[in-house]
Chains A and B, each alone.
Chain A
Amino acid sequence: MSFGAHLRFLLSGLLLALALAVAAPAGAQQINPTANSVREQQFLDALKQNPSAELRGRISIPDTRAATLERPAGRDWRTFHQGTMVRIGAVAVLGMLVVLTAFYLFRGRIRIEAGPSGQTITRFNGFERFMHWLTAGCFIILALSGLNVTFGKALLLPLIGPQAFTNLSVAAKWSHNFLAWPFMLGVALMFLVWIKDNIPNLGDLRWFLAGGGLIGKGHAPPARRFNGGQKVVFWAVVLGGAALSVSGIYMLYPSFSGGVLDMQFWNVVHGIVSVLMIAVMLAHIYIGSIGMEGAFDAMGSGEVDLNWAKEHHALWVAEEIEKGRAPGATLQPAE
């Protein structure tokens, strides 16, 4: 499928039922149903104009979906699912792994320049960490069970055989269906709790222009609680999560989603967004773990080294100090 066709598929994906134009009876006098009969060629011609066209008629059974006689758009979806989806997925996931590896080799672990101070500051409270790990835990299983749908057949099936693979896939399907709900809850909570710290501002722009301090030497422009990169992650999670939730719900509840073309559309959305999100999350995991000294503590114990905080979130530290919630201000019991 060409890119153009693909785009058309995505844009026009929603139902475009085709009623074949009746060749007008020649003159009111002669009605020759045989000569005027609808031909398949009319449909094939219409398909050239609109590849998502489907041929619908009347059927006596109540299942209205059965009234669709032909829907060649299924083929486009198949091409997408078996081609584009696989490529995007592979590029996104493998590409990100390559980038991260290269980055690691090139940059190494980002150390706390000033070294650990020994003093810590509370970066995320227990509730925030719960919410993060809830989302993250669900996401990992959702991602793996989702990737299984696209890649399992090629990677896993030959290894473990059809029956075991089916059993695994059934388990994957059910865990995907059930873990979707806590995931959505987590995303919703994160959105509510962290939105106020994630409004983009000019500082973020400067942060990006400076390469976030990750590339080359020197510090990035001082950031508040979340720097530009983290805001990207936040918004990726919130928007991506929302897209996955909406598309996922539609796929879980076929009776609300309309026709098969809608289902296909939501499936495409779900697939693309999820692999992109997986890529972003890989980067997030990298930087939050081996990529940067001191970063994991933020979601681990919740307490980060003051020096780390000053290097990455100088403005936030200042604010915290101002509020008296950081070492260096009057000591107060934490929470």
Chain B
Amino acid sequence: MARMKFLCDADRCIECNACVTACKNENDVPWGINRRRVVTINDGKPGERSVSMACMHCTDAPCAAVCPVDCFYTTADAVVLHNKDLCIGCGYCFYACPFGAPQYPKLSNFGSRGKMDKCTYCAGGPEADLSPAEFQKYGSNRLAEGKLPLCAEMCSTKALLAGDGEIIAQIYKERVVKRGYGSGAWGWQTAYRETIAI
């Protein structure tokens, strides 16, 4: 099976936010929930880079490890998903996540966060593939339709890559070799304990 990963080529990312709205569009994500976002580092300074970030679907995912009710699971494609029926909204996954991926419908105080929501790699949830219940809780399941996450598919400059880790690493590697620069596979060391050696 493929080992699905995301890779944002910051030397291509222009912070156009297509990934953000594509995600909202595809999964009917409500206002206030940002499954994906684009962060600009060193904004306004020469050397500025923007990186699109969402759940990286980590190897040995910290969210899954700390979840007190064990509501996470990893698919055969190595996509880290969770079961909203089991989630108790405790926020531990947000503490543990290195990428700020978990989102909660309510940011209000007194422990009323609601069920956690995060990027599903457009792979739905534990319900039957492409069922209404799955869409309602998790959004679309493109993986089951043989498609990749829409954020990456619609990325304006093809900065955001999604797919099997080895394949996208290869694409990135070739780009860096061809152009002679690359600011790194942002988040890979943290998420996958590996970097892409050029």
Contact = CB atoms under 8 A, between A and B. Distances in A.
Please determine whether chains A and B interact with each other in the same assembly. yes
Interface of A: 19-20, 22-23, 25, 31-41, 44, 55-61, 63, 65-75, 77-78, 81-82, 148-150, 152-153, 157, 162-163, 165-166, 169-170, 173-174, 177, 252-256, 260, 263-264, 267
Contact of A78 (B53, B66, B87): B66
Given A58-B40, A153-B70, A74 B34 contact: no
Nearest to A173: B88
Given A41-B184, A69-B53, A267 B95 contact: yes
Contacts of A255: 107, 109
Given A40-B186, A252-B111, A253-B110, A78 B100 contact: no
A37 B181 contact: yes
B25 interface: no
Interface in B40-88: 40-43, 45-51, 53, 62, 65-71, 83, 85-88
Nearest to A149: B68
Given A58-B40, A81-B66, A40 B46 contact: no
B108 to A, nearest CB: 8
A38 B47 contact: yes
B90 A72 contact: no
Contacts of A31: 46
B10 interface: yes
Nearest to B70: A153
Interface in B90-108: 90-92, 94-100, 107
Contacts of B43: 57-58
B185 interface: yes
A169 B41 contact: no
B68 A148 contact: yes
Contacts of B39: 56-59, 66-69
Interface of B: 10-11, 17, 34, 37-43, 45-51, 53, 62, 65-71, 83, 85-88, 90-92, 94-100, 107, 109-111, 181, 183-187, 189-190
A69 B95 contact: no
A16 to B, nearest CB: 15
B34 A20 contact: no
B69 A74 contact: no
Nearest to A162: B86
Contacts of B183: 37-40
Contact of B85 (A20, A32, A166): A166
A150 B70 contact: no
Given A63-B34, A66-B34, A70-B98, A20 B184 contact: no
A172 B40 CA distance: 40
Q: Which of B69, B83, B111 gathers most chain A CB within 10 Å?
A: B69
6 nearest A-B residue pairs (beta carbon): A40-B184, A36-B47, A57-B39, A58-B43, A57-B41, A78-B62
Contacts of B97: 71, 74
A66 B20 CA distance: 13
Contacts of A38: 41-42, 47-49, 183
Contact of B68 (A33, A65, A153): A153
Nearest to B187: A70
Contacts of A170: 88
Contacts of A41: 184
8 contacts: A37-B183, A57-B41, A81-B96, A82-B65, A152-B69, A162-B83, A163-B85, A166-B71
Nearest to A148: B68
Contacts of B48: 33, 37-38
Given A33-B48, A163-B86, A252-B111, A77 B96 contact: yes
Nearest to A153: B70
A148 to B, nearest CB: 7
A252 B110 contact: yes
Given A162-B86, A255-B107, A77 B70 contact: no
B181 A35 contact: yes
Contacts of A58: 39-40, 43
